[in-house]
Each structure stands twice: as structure tokens, then as C-alpha cells.
A and B are shown apart, each in its own frame.
Chain A
Amino acid sequence: MFDNFPLWPDRASTAAGNVDALFIFLLIVSGLMTLLIFVAVVYFSARYRNRQGVPAEQIEGSTPLELTWSIIPLFVFMVIFAWGAVVYFKSRTPPRDSTEVYVVAKQWMWKLEHAEGQREINELHVPVGRDVKLIMTSQDVIHSFFVPAFRMKQDVLPGRYTVAWFRAIKPGTYHLFCTQYCGTQHSGMIGSIIVMEPAQYEAWMSGGSTGPLSATGEKIFGELGCSTCHRSDSQGRGPNLQGVFGKPVQLEDGRIVTADENYIRECILDPGARRVKGFQPIMPTFQGLVSDEQVNALVAYVKSLAKPGEGGVKPAAAVPVNSAANHSSANQAAAEGSQVNP
């Protein structure tokens, strides 16, 4: 519309239409309510303005009226609530086979790493029509990942993962804003989401990467010696991680948790917190020894072990068909070097 004076944000994700529809419904409802009240106030004030010899008529009140204007709004509110809840649930539940992107926020930049291994800073390239799940954490303070054109926002916290997803529907470049105040350059912590046609995206993807994230994770898994205890048979001193991800796990204290990204992360950084039943508390913490990016890679690796028939040894198989076969490890080393350890 007007370049300098837009009145409606771009609508570039599947969620955008849902949110807009709900927003428009709210605009209509609240517009009607405002109109009702304004008209009544203006009409009464004009009609019953002070005139000599016409005293006010004293009215006690009316319980039926009070009930009417309590129950009708309540009913309307419940409709808004329910509709809002449906839209929210949809936006909070990533589809099962989403492409995954790990996001690490820090003052004042966004670091993004595709499961396929591509790393980006303050930019995220995604194809049209594919579900993209963001697994996000922060190295320092709370940030928030907001893409107005996608009507999507999720705070990014230190010390845990939060998750968001979207499916872009319109190629273009869209703002990525940090919306949780994070210090001096908060307003500079912005970036772009570049939505591409699938063919273009494939071309971009083949541009060079360090190998799938899960492969990086496997390498770290070996380097840190995780594999000496977490063996792929039942003889290890730690749980066998094959097929664990996404499954319920029985804990030492009897509780059952689902082995999701946050649980795997916690097991690496605070192994004693929720220990698997039947194992000794011998695992040391890796807090401070691994960066957030390395934790992400490890999580991606553990996830890849759960994918049927992939077994983790051939991590390349975890990557969707396209890709990105050979990768320079120099690139990776450079990226690792730029990290700040917690």
C-alpha cells in the first residue's frame, strides 16, 4: 500500500490469516460496543440536558437490566476467549514433521542454525510452504522472537528452550524484532526472515554448511566422552539414548517425564536434577563446558537417534533429501570461535 504509511501488516504465514480474522472480529465487536456507549452518552447528554423546571427523574436501578448487561458481554467474551484459545493452541503446537531451526539469542544478535547445518546471523532463510519449528534459547537475558508478518512471538529464555513454529506462505523479506527489552541495543536486535520459493531455497541451502547439526552433535558426543557411558547397547553406565527422544522416561523419584528438548538439555547441564531410574548419579555437569550451540547440536544428535532406522551413526540421513553434502570444518571452527561461553 503506502510505503511510508502502512495500515495493515503483511500477511505472510498460515497463522497470520487466523490472527487477522480474530482481530477483525474483535474490532467489530468492540467497535459496536464503543458505538453503543458513545451514542447512548451523547444522546442522553443532549436529550436530557439541564432545562429549567424539568427535574431529573430518580431511578433506583434495575436488576434485570444489570443481569442483561452482565450476561451478554460475558457471553461475547467467552466467544472471544474460545476463539482466541483455538488460534493460540494452533500456534503453540508445532506440526510433527517440521524442519527444525535452533535459535540462540544474545545481546544483541540472533544466531540461527538449521538442522541441516547452515548457520546464519540476524537472517533466517526459509522456504514457502514448509513448517519450521524454532527451538530457542538465550545466552544472557530474556529476548523475544517476533515476526509481525507471521503474527508470531515467543520469549527466548536463558537456561531453557522455548519453542515456536510457522509456515510461511508468501516470498519476501520480513522484519524480525526482539520484543523483550534486553539492554542498550535492544532496538538494534533486529533481523530479517527471508522467505524463498522452494527452488531458490534449495539453491541457497546447497551453498555450504558444516554438515547437519546432528553430525556436529555426534562429533561433540564423541569428543566429550559421552559415548563411553551412553553406549548403544544395555551395558553402559548411562542410559542408552537410542530411541529415547520424545518417549516417556521413568525417573528415579518415580515421576515420568517426556524426553523433550528441554529435558535432554537439562540432563546435559544439570544431570542430577531429573535422573533416569536405575542409574547412578555419576554424570558430571557440562554447565560451562559446552556452549549453547554445542548443547543444541547434542540435542539434535540425541533426536536423530530416535528417528526410526537412522541409528545415529549415519547422521546425514537425518537431513531432508536435498543437500549439502560436503562442508568445510574451517567454517565451523570460525563459528565456534565466535561464541561466548556462558
Chain B
Amino acid sequence: MATAPVPPAAQPERENYLNKHYGVGSWLFTTDHKRIALLYLLSITFFFFIGGFFALLIRLELLTPGGDLVQADTYNKLFTQHGQVMVFFFLIPSIPAVLGNFLVPMMVGAKDLAFPRINLLSWYLYIIGGIMMLHCMLTGGVDTGWTFYVPFSTAFSNTKVIEAGLAIFVAGFSSILTGLNFIVTIHRMRAPGMTWSRLPLFIWAHYATSIIQVLGTPVIAITLVLVVAERALHLGIFDPKLGGDPLLFQHLFWFYSHPAVYIMILPSMGVVTEIIACFSRKRIFGYSFVAFSSIAIAVFGFLVWAHHMFVAGISVYAALVFSLLSYAVAVPSAVKVFNWTATLYKGSIHYDAPMLYAFGFLGLFTIGGLTGLFLACLGVDMHVHDTYFVIAHFHYIMVGGALMGYLGGMHFWWPKISGRLYPEGWARLAALIVFIGFNLTFFPQFILGYLGMPRRYYQYPPEFQVLNVLSTAGATVLGIGYLLPMIYFLWSMRYGKPAPDNPWNAAGLEWKTQSPPTTFNFEEEPVVTWEAYNYEELDAPHKEEVPVAR
């Protein structure tokens, strides 16, 4: 906020995690959670732009009904690898591995994660998986769709299914290790006085996410191993010709891949919660309901997978149960939205860039969530399943929701991460461009879906063209919106104003240490005597800053 006093920049730069050591080795062998977070930041940004480039080619191909830009096989590889890269190499690690890695220890008042070396290992596993994926792409790619449906993937595709499967298998372990680290850290390393009910809701969200990562990821790992086994060794598991069951694959795949959506969205919800509290200068309305709704989402999220299979050939009674449970998981999400809205009530609301992203999140997540009701509805899903309606829906959640939260969080904590302020005007502009571009890209796809345009179509009947052109136009705007923050974040690292320790005058232990923090985060172990979101104390007119420790 503009209101926060900016202290004179300390002239000789204070020692911090960035300038303590120099050299490539000091980064590649670091066990500092903040440095690992930056390693992740670099790597996922790289993959984001690869995935984004694929998306751009997809949208260009769909500009016209015929197939003219690329070959059908190329197109199939583009959407497959767009999905795989964005899901497994960007969205799943995005908030947990970057912001979570950076903030979880600081927010609970710890020096580092519980297992710093395992944390570094998780990054290496991610990189090994990423290199395998790049190798797979560069040597031919894979065309199964990110869903790997059998028997296409095990018996019919001529592409590099095994390589892609193993790449994701390896990257999966990085996700498991991150989750494991967070769970142990949150349980064991909270500072004195940091009780469960004083934890920031960001921590609750990451705790719920970690549960899914630890319990869900092994299932996809095993599933991919089985796909590889069937493809390479012709073991009959899924292919009916070998005596297998193709629906078994879908059950296993979605048992992870539905909860995986919550791996992407829960951390984003955590970020948005922090932002809304800070820029409304208020405690979060219904703290415990928001906290437990995260846990409820993580638990119920495991019980709804077959709503991806209503027309796949499962029994009508199974479909009935899964539809019902899907509505059950919608309730805690709705509760969160209502609580965020209620937090604004009688607040003192500031419109800084992070808050604009949070507003964007609220809008897009609401639309994404509500269209989920359509898909969970058996009668409507028969029509819209596997059409662009689904594409639009999950992009509203995973891009509109997860990515908006990620960008909001990057802006919010950028001063802490980099020690510099980003240019506020540009940031607000970027938030606006992303919001407009996003809606222009994906809203027409809801209409396309109801009209019946199937997903994964390289060519389409001409009556769908106008809406596709709108969508492609929107994607261009959206692309600019994503490039902007990267440019001004990089710019700010050199030219940005030095950031004060707490530029937003925000609650939370991470703001009570210097910007950027020192290697061990705190000079002395903090002792917590206040609740999360104590904005009343922070804003009290004549009150000294709460001491770090006593």
C-alpha cells in the first residue's frame, strides 16, 4: 500500500539469503528453502512458457475450421504436451514449490523446512523429470492426451508414451517430497506460541494440499508404471485384448487427477486469503470455517473421481453416488467464496495489484466453480462431457483460479523475495489485461461446448469458427498479460526501489523479518502471542511495531 512508510534504503546492502553466497555452486547445492524456491521459480517459469507456446500454436490452428497450420499428428502432440507440461511441470509445483517453499517455514517461524536436503532432492527430481520430458518432446513427443487413456496409449499410439510416462513418474516424487516436507514442518517446527489456530490460512491450505500430494501422487505413479508395463511388456492390465479393463485405468488415473486439481487450487486459495485479509485490513471472516473447508476439500476430493466417467460406461448407480459426492465437495468451496466476500464487509479496502489479482481470482473461480455444478450434474454432463465446455470449466479453475492466485502471490511477496518493489502501475495494468484476456479466451468456449464442439479436435465444422476466432484473439491478449509481469519483475530486480521489510504493513511472521530475509529467516526465534490477521493492532494509530521476539 502506498500508505506504508518507506524507510530510507539501508545503504550497504544488508546480508541476506541472496547475497550471502555467490556462484553457481552456492545455488545448485543450497539447502536454503528460499533459494530452492527460486530454483523452482526459474524452472517452472521456463516450463510455463513452453506450455504457453504450445497453447499459442493450438489457438492459431483453431483460428480456421480446416487443418492448415500444423499436421493432425502435430496438433495432437501439441495439446497433449501443453496439458502435461502445464499440469505436471507448472501448475502442480507452482504455488507449493515456489511460494510454499519460500513462505511455509517463515510463516510458522522456522529456520527452514524440516528436511532441507530432501527439499533440494525434490527440485533435482523435478529437473530430471523435466529433462526427460524435454527429451521426449524434442525426439518426437507424445500424442495420447495428458490423460494417457488406454488402450490408445498402451497399444495404438506410435509416439513416446513410455518416456512421457516415466518423466511424469519421476516428477511425481518431487511433489510427494514437497508435501512430506510441509506436513512435517507444519507439525513439528512451529515457533513457540504458533498454535494451530494462529496459523495463517495459507499454511492450512498448504497442509491440505500436502495431504493430497502424499496420498494421491503414488497412485498416478503406479498407474503410469502399469501403462509402461503394458506397453513395453504386453502385460494384460488395461487392454481388453490382453484381458485387461480400460475403465480400471480411468478409475486409477482420476483417483489422482481429480484431487490433483485441488493440489493446484488449494494453495491458490491460501494465497488469496492472505491477500484479501491484508488489503481489507481485517481478520478473515470465519477463520476456522475457511481452515476446515481446506481439509474438507482435500478429504472429499478423493471421493469424487468417477465424475469424469459418467459417460465412460460405468453403472448408473455408481454415477449417481459420484454425482452426489461431487456436490458435497462443492460446499466447502462455496463456503470459502462467501467468507472472502464477507471479509470485505466493513473492511478498509486497498486496490493494489495483489488485491486486483485476488478480485480476478474471486470472479474466475466463482464462474469456474459454478460451471462445475453443470458437469457434476448427470443430465447435463451427458451432453457437455468431453466438449469445450469442460475445457472452459477447468481453465477457469486451473488458470483463472490457480494462476491468478499464483500471480497475486508473486506480486504480494515479491518485495520479500527480491527485496525490491515492482512497478505498481504496470502490475495493475497486467492484472486487468490478464482478466480481460482470460475471459475473452475461455468464455466463448462454454458456448462452443454447449453447441457440441468436442475437445481435442484438429478440424471443426465451420459454424464454430466465430467463437474460435474470439477465443484465439483472447489468447493473444492473455499472452501479453503473462509476459508483462515477467518483464517488470526482472526489471525491478535491478531498477526497482528497495523494499522495506513490511511494505504492505501485513500480518504474518514473514513480514517481521528483513527483506530479503537472512539465510535462517529470523535473528531470534520468534515467539507468537497474537492471532493471525491481527490487523487491528497493526493499524492502531500509535502503536510500535510488534517486536520480533522477546
Listed in ascending order, the chain A residues whose CB lies under 8 Å from chain B are 3-9, 18-19, 22-23, 26, 29-30, 33-34, 37-38, 40-41, 44-45, 48-51, 54-62, 65-66, 69-70, 73-74, 77-78, 80-81, 83-89, 91-92, 107, 140-142, 144, 146, 148-149, 151-155, 157-160, 162, 175, 177-188, 190, 342
Q: A91-B379, A155-B311, A187-B460 are in contact. Are A177 and B454 (CB under 8 A)?
A: yes
Complex CA gap A85/B327 in Å reads: 13
Q: Which of the 9-residue segments B11-19, B85-93, B164-172, B331-339 touches chain A?
A: B331-339
Question: Are B379 and A22 touching (Cβ within 8 A)?
Answer: yes
Q: Are A37 and B366 in contact (CB under 8 A)?
A: yes
Checking A61, A65, A144, A158 against B311 with a beta-carbon cut-off of 8 angstroms, the contacting residue is A144
Is B156 within 8 A of A141, CB to CB? yes
Question: Does B241 count as interface, using CB distance less than 8 angstroms?
Answer: yes
- Count A/B pairs, Cβ under 8 Å: 282
Q: A81-B324, A153-B311 are in contact. Are A19 and B76 (CB under 8 A)?
A: no
Q: Is residue B373 contacting chain A, with contact meaning CB distance below 8 A? A: yes
Pick the residue among B324, B350, B374, B385 that contacts A153 (CB under 8 A).
Answer: B385
- A49 interface neighbour in B157, B327, B345, B349, Cβ under 8 Å: B349
The 7 tightest CB contacts between A and B, nearest first, are A148-B452, A159-B240, A87-B379, A88-B378, A61-B286, A84-B377, A44-B344
Q: Which residues of A contact B385 (CB under 8 A)?
A: 153, 179
Q: Does any Cβ of A come within 8 Å of B184's Cβ?
A: no
- Residues of A near B456 (CB, < 8 A) are 181, 186-187
User: Is the beta-carbon distance between B344 and A84 smaller than 8 angstroms?
Assistant: no
**The residue from B313, B337, B387 contacting A154, defined by CB atoms under 8 A apart:** B313
A156 to chain B, nearest CB (A): 9
Please determine whether B76 and A184 come into contact, CB atoms closer than 8 angstroms.
yes
With A85-B378, A180-B149 in contact, do A92 and B462 touch (Cβ < 8 Å)? Answer: no
Q: Name which residue of chain A comes closest to B457, CB basis.
A: A187
Give the segment of B186-194, B276-284, B421-429 that binds chain A. B276-284
List the A residue with the shortest CB-CB distance to B366: A37
Q: Are A182 and B366 in contact (CB under 8 A)?
A: no
Are B379 and A155 in touch, CB under 8 angstroms?
A: no
Shortest distance from the beta carbon of A291 to any chain B beta carbon, whole Å: 14
Interchain nearest-CB distance for B444 vs A (Å) = 11
Instruction: Look across to chain B and name the residue whose beta carbon is closest to the beta carbon of A287.
Output: B241
Residue numbers in B under 8 Å from A62 (CB-CB): 285-286
Contact A77 B327 (CB under 8 A): yes
The 8 Å CB contact of B348, one of A4, A56, A181, A182, is: A56
**Residues of chain A lying within 8 A (CB to CB) of residue B547:** none
Contact A70-B311, Cβ < 8 Å, known A19-B382, A184-B73: no
Q: Is B198 an interface residue (CB 8 A)?
A: no
Provide 9 A-B residue pairs closer than 8 Å at the C-beta atoms, listed in order of the A residue.
Answer: A8-B450, A45-B349, A56-B346, A57-B346, A61-B286, A81-B323, A81-B378, A84-B381, A153-B382
On chain A, the residues within 8 Å of B335 by CB distance are 66, 69-70
Chain A CB within 10 Å, residue with most, of B324, B334, B379: B379
Cβ-based interface call for B439 (8 A): no
Q: Would you give the 0/1 interface string for B363-397, flagging 1 where the beta carbon is closer than 8 Å to chain A?
A: 10011001101101111111101110000000000
Contact of B380 among A26, A58, A140, A183 (CB under 8 A): A26
Q: Select which of B327, B330, B462, B539 is within 8 A of A55 by beta carbon.
A: B539
A286 to chain B, nearest CB (A): 14
Contact residues, B157-199 vs A (CB, 8 A): 157
Query: What distance in Å separates the Cβ of B38 from its nearest Cβ neighbour in chain A?
Result: 32
State A37–B458 Cα separation when bound (angstroms).
37
Q: In the complex, which residues of chain A have a beta carbon less than 8 angstroms from the beta carbon of B377? A: 22, 26, 80-81, 83-84
Against A, the Cβ 8 Å flags (1 = close, 0 = not) of B52-91 are 0000000000000001000011001000000000000000
Task: Let me know if B476 is at the binding interface, CB within 8 A.
Answer: no
Q: Which residues of B contact A33 (CB under 8 A)?
A: 366, 370
Chain A CB within 8 A of B483 CB: no
User: What separation, in Å, do the CA atoms of A311 and B144 have in the docked complex?
Assistant: 47
Task: Indicate if the CB atoms of B341 and A86 lie closer than 8 Å.
Answer: no
Taking the closest CB of chain A, its distance from the CB of B308, in whole angstroms, is 11
Q: B320 to A85, Cβ gap below 8 A?
A: yes
Query: In the complex, what's the smallest C-beta–C-beta distance from A17 to chain B, in angstroms?
Result: 12
* A37, B337: Cα distance in complex, Å: 8
The answer on a CB contact under 8 Å between B289 and A91 is no
- Please state if A9 and B450 are interface contacts (CB–CB under 8 Å): yes
Give Cα A242–Cα B272 distance, bound, in whole angstroms: 67
Q: Which residues of A contact B323 (CB under 8 A)?
A: 81, 84-85
Partner of A77, one of B157, B247, B331, B536: B331
Inter-chain contact A23/B380, CB cutoff 8 Å: yes
Given contacts A58-B282, A184-B76, A187-B459, are A84 and B378 in contact (CB under 8 A)?
yes
From residue 465 to 518 of chain B, which have CB atoms closer than 8 A to chain A? 465-467
| Residue contact A58 to B535, C-beta cutoff 8 Å | yes
Question: Which B residue sits closest to A288, measured CB to CB?
Answer: B241
Whole-angstrom CA separation of A148 from B92 in the bound complex: 34
Residues of chain A within 8 A (CB-CB) of B156 are 107, 140-141, 183
Among the listed B363, B380, B387, B459, which residue makes an inter-chain contact with A179, where contact means beta carbons less than 8 Å apart? B387
Q: Could you give, for residues 311-326 of chain B, a 1 whenever the CB lies within 8 Å of some chain A CB and a 0 otherwise?
A: 1110010011001100
Query: Is there an interface contact between B454 and A88, defined as CB atoms closer than 8 Å?
Result: no
The answer to whether A183 touches B383, judged by C-beta atoms less than 8 angstroms apart, is no
Given known contacts A83-B379, A88-B378, A140-B151, A146 and B452 CB-to-CB distance under 8 angstroms: yes
Q: Chain A residue with minimal CB distance to B459? A: A187
Instruction: List, in ascending order, chain A residues with CB within 8 A of B152's CB.
Output: 141-142, 181-183
Q: Quick check: is B351 within 8 A (CB to CB) of the other chain? A: yes
Chain A residue numbers with a CB within 8 Å of B460 are 187
Inter-subunit contact A5/B349 (CB<8 Å): no
Alpha-carbon distance between A107 and B451 when the two chains are bound, in angstroms: 24
CB-CB < 8 A to A160: which residues of B?
240, 313
Chain A residues with CB below 8 A from B370, complex form = 30, 33-34
Chain B residues with Cβ below 8 Å from A158 are 151, 239-241, 246
Within the complex, the shortest CB–CB distance from B370 to chain A, in Å, comes to 4
Interface check B36, CB cutoff 8 A: no
B461 within 8 A of A: yes
Give the complex CA separation of A74 and B466 in angstroms. 37
Contacts known (A85-B379, A140-B151); A6 close to B283, Cβ less than 8 A: no
- Tell me the bound Cα distance from A153 to B313 in angstroms: 11
Q: How far is the CA of A327 from the CA of B156 in the complex (A)?
A: 37
Give Cα A29–Cα B373 distance, bound, in whole angstroms. 10
A269 to chain B, nearest CB (A): 10
User: Which listed residue, A151, A153, A190, touches B386 by the CB 8 Å rule?
Assistant: A153
